[in-house]
Structure 1
């Protein structure tokens, strides 16, 4: 066994043990690709996650290099730490400096006909990365995964995937640089994808996927086999129409709960002659009820859907958004609010790009000058045009446009 492969196997074994500990330790956050639960009102301890998963913190040095290499100011999602962790991002920046190609890869697991606000986060950064690096992007719709994990038929998941693809297109991706594909259709169309999937499956044992994902003897075989499906787009030859036979590395922006898939992928890639994929990890977008769990499409009252009307948006925020304020106006004026707990303020950190305005709101709410109802109104005023603009763009996406994005082809 070569030194590199030995190190990869050792790293994967260490990471498996971290996952087992995080799953079974009752007083710890629970984070896996399907469930996120924190014991703390302020949400997941991301510094602990970095240690458990063995990733690297996105620090000032990396952000400074981002700006130096690209000549662009970093996106506020990076600047404010919403993308907080990475794997091998420096190697991607080095490739860009050297004029060597790479591509972006991300995905969406469709479990409802509309995406929600939290789903915008990775796609917003992907759009920015595509523009800054002028590189191609492949987006995997894991409709097969949702059929296996949710009470959905194959037909329902496939249809939801197509609807989600329209939401993704409405984020403004360049059709000449973006390929969106459904697992249910693409895998059967391109034998190269299926062959790579089998190559990956041959490299991973049942014991490894049990350790990484917490599978047991009662897990259906489709779930056990699925991690290889999500790993396969990290091999560029899985897209012969786009990349031909060239072995090109990729950068994967995703939420940190998807990292187990790509730790496995990074172990396998060198054994198949490919570079390890680089990753950028985002924090979770909290549910309306608080940061103990992430926003989920299966919990309507915890979620703001991209299809919600202005009235629905207003009602959800006013009725369900967890407040960091005091119980009475008098107490709030005296003691102030807690921005670390207040969901309206946390959402503003994602969607209000003006740093000075955000700091003014934080200062006024913390001092008690700004009341919870007033803070919620600010959020409603910020989010309403986000939703209405998205809906307007989405309404103009034709079936022909959708088909163009989902047709295998060479990208610019």
Structure 2
């Protein structure tokens, strides 16, 4: 979605890489590990084809020198009671999670109008389960008198085992950009089958198949004959996803030395 908007509407894309959030959420991970994950995430984004010059990566711990001062401007405007009302955070969560959820993640959506005093409105593509956290940015926009961010909710891709959504907690439930191509084939081959709404391979094709006619023909086949339709979807998905993963991993290695070119090293500044 973000790449489509950049290519077709000429929009700048601001990507927040929240290694700070992962660190405070995951007691099993060291600071070094979350930084390594962050770099890997950045390389994935760049390799997906986002444009240099119109893609601005906000790597939280890397740009803390300007991100933290901006977050303080928001922190003084939101109450703990408001944060609890909008999110699932309660007294059992640590302070780091509360601060990130309250203000750090709201900075990218509000910073342009905050700092430049010019009309800007952020569009935030997100999975629907992230909506409560984005509502904090809406609340803060009202309080500081800037434009409220708009949100576009995306549907979940089904988990490969038949779960309502794929996820990182169970690696067998999803295909990852880092998966070996042979692993991708194996995951798709053993994925669950069923009618259209319960066919994971068809769910992936909704994202990766560019031809609507092909997709809806497969959808109808799954409806009429779930077993045969599922087999056709798996074959089609393998034909699309395996080459995609192979090419992506090659591009990722090529971009390793270009990360600095995409980092947003300083805050928005009026010219």
Distance 1:247 1:196 in 2: 18
Task: Note the alpha carbon deviations across 1:142-191, whole angstroms, 9 max, x for none.
Answer: 00101111221221111110111000001111111111121112122x2x
Relative to structure 2, which stretch is displaced further, 196-205 or 363-372?
363-372
Unaligned runs of 5+ in 1: 1-124, 325-337
- Equivalent runs, 1:294-313 vs 2, <5 Å: 294-313=165-184
Tell whether 2:120 aligns with 1:248: yes
Match of 1:68 in 2: none
The alpha carbon displacement at 1:237 in A equals 4.2
Unaligned runs of 5+ in 2: none
Which of the numbers 16, 19, 44 marks the counterpart of 1:167? 44
Tell whether 2:241 aligns with 1:383: yes
The alpha carbon displacement at 1:132 in A equals 2.0
Match of 2:215 in 1: 358
Tell whether 2:69 aligns with 1:198: no
Tell whether 2:91 aligns with 1:214: no
The alpha carbon displacement at 1:359 in A equals 2.0
Aligned residues: 265
SS in 2 for 1:235: helix
The alpha carbon displacement at 1:402 in A equals 0.8
Which of the numbers 89, 99, 105 marks the counterpart of 1:230? 105
Q: TM-score, normalised by structure 2?
A: 0.89
State whether residues 235 and 247 of structure 1, in contact with CA within 8 Å, keep that contact through their aligned partners in structure 2.
Answer: no
- Equivalent runs, 1:9-408 vs 2, <5 Å: 125-150=1-26, 151-188=28-65, 190=66, 193-227=67-101, 228-237=103-112, 244=116, 246-292=118-164, 294-319=165-190, 321-324=191-194, 338-368=195-225, 370=228, 372-399=230-257, 401-408=258-265
Distance 2:167 2:114 in 1: 31
Q: Supply the RMSD in Å over aligned alpha carbons.
A: 2.2
State whether residues 232 and 238 of structure 1, in contact with CA within 8 Å, keep that contact through their aligned partners in structure 2.
Answer: no
Work out which of the two has the higher radius of gyration on C-alpha atoms and give 1 or 2. 1
Q: TM-score, normalised by structure 1?
A: 0.60
Distance 2:120 2:230 in 1: 50
Distance 1:161 1:254 in 2: 19
